Structure 1
Amino acid sequence: MRSPAEPGAFVTGSAVVLPPATQSAQEAVRAGRITASESEGLGVTRVHVADEPAPLLAAAAARVAATRAGVAPESVGHLLHAHTYYQGHDFWSPAHFVAHEAGFDSCVPMSVGQMCNGGAAALGIAVERARSAAPGAPALTVVTTADTFGGDGFDRWGSDYDTVYGDGATCAIVSPWADRTNGPALRVLALDSRARPQFEAMYREGDAFGTTPHALRAVVDVKATKRAFFQRSGGTAEFRDAAVKTIGELVAGVIESAGVGIDDVAATMLPRLSPKVLDLMYSEAIDPRLAPTLHCERDRTGHLGAGDFLANLDHLRRTGTVADGQYALVVGGGGGFTWSAALVQKLGPPLPRT
Structure 2
Amino acid sequence: MRSPAESSAFVIGSAVVLPPAVESAAEAVRSGRITEEERERLGVTSVHVGAEPAPVLAAAAARAAAAEAGVEPDRVGHLLHAHTYYQGHDFWSPAHFIAHEAGFGSCVPMSVGQMCNGGAAALGIGVERVRHTACGEPVLSVATTADTFGGSGIDRWGSDYDTVYGDGATCVILSPEAGDTSAPALRVVALDSRARPQFEAMYREGDPFGTAPHELRAAIDVKATKRAFFERCGGTTEFRDVAIKTIGELVADVIDTAGVAITDVAATMLPRLSPKVLDLMYSAAIDPRLVPTLHCERDTTGHLGAGDFLANLDHLRRTDLLADRQYALVVGGGGGFTWSAALVQKVGPAVPRA
TM-score (norm 1): 0.97
Instruction: Tell me what 1:189 maps to.
Output: 189
Q: How does 1:20-99 map to 2 (within 5 A)?
A: 20-99=20-99
Q: Report the CA distance between 1:136 and its aligned residue.
A: 3.2
Q: Report the CA distance between 1:351 and its aligned residue.
A: 2.0
Q: For 2:181 and 2:100, how far apart are their aligned partners in 1? A: 26
Instruction: Tell me what 1:117 maps to.
Output: 117
> Is 2:331 the counterpart of 1:339?
no
Paired letter, 2:217: R
Q: For 1:310 and 1:170, how far apart are their aligned partners in 2? A: 6
1:45-64 deviation per Cα after TM superposition (whole angstroms, max 9, x unaligned): 00000100000000000000
In structure 2, list runs of 5 or more residues that go unmatched: none
Q: Report the CA distance between 1:181 and its aligned residue.
A: 5.2
Q: Report the CA distance between 1:353 and its aligned residue.
A: 4.4
Paired letter, 2:167: D
Q: For 1:181 and 1:315, how far apart are their aligned partners in 2? A: 19
Paired letter, 2:238: E
> Is 2:105 the counterpart of 1:108?
no
CA contact (8 A) 1:13 1:65 kept: yes
Distance 1:180-1:318 versus aligned 2 partners, 3 A rule: farther
Aligned-residue RMSD, C-alpha = 1.3
Paired letter, 1:142: V
Q: Report the CA distance between 1:182 and its aligned residue.
A: 6.4
Q: Report the CA distance between 1:350 and its aligned residue.
A: 1.1
CA contact (8 A) 1:69 1:182 kept: no
1:184-227 deviation per Cα after TM superposition (whole angstroms, max 9, x unaligned): 01000000000000000000000000000000101100000000
1:149-189 deviation per Cα after TM superposition (whole angstroms, max 9, x unaligned): 00000000000000000000000000001113562010000
Q: For 1:325 and 1:89, how far apart are their aligned partners in 2? A: 43
Q: How does 1:227-266 map to 2 (within 5 A)?
A: 227-266=227-266
Q: How does 1:160-239 map to 2 (within 5 A)?
A: 160-180=160-180, 183-239=183-239
Q: Percent identity?
A: 81
CA contact (8 A) 2:322 2:328 kept: yes
Q: For 2:282 and 2:95, how far apart are their aligned partners in 1? A: 31
In structure 1, list runs of 5 or more residues that go unmatched: none
Distance 1:322-1:144 versus aligned 2 partners, 3 A rule: same
> Is 2:320 the counterpart of 1:320?
yes
Q: For 1:180 and 1:247, how far apart are their aligned partners in 2? A: 35
* DSSP 3-state at the match of 1:292: helix
Q: For 1:39 and 1:46, how far apart are their aligned partners in 2? A: 10
Q: Report the CA distance between 1:67 and its aligned residue.
A: 0.3
Instruction: Tell me what 1:277 maps to.
Output: 277
Q: Report the CA distance between 1:135 and its aligned residue.
A: 2.0
CA contact (8 A) 1:189 1:258 kept: yes
Which segment drifts farther, 323-332 or 125-134? 125-134
CA contact (8 A) 2:138 2:175 kept: no
Q: For 1:182 and 1:348, how far apart are their aligned partners in 2? A: 6
Matched length: 351
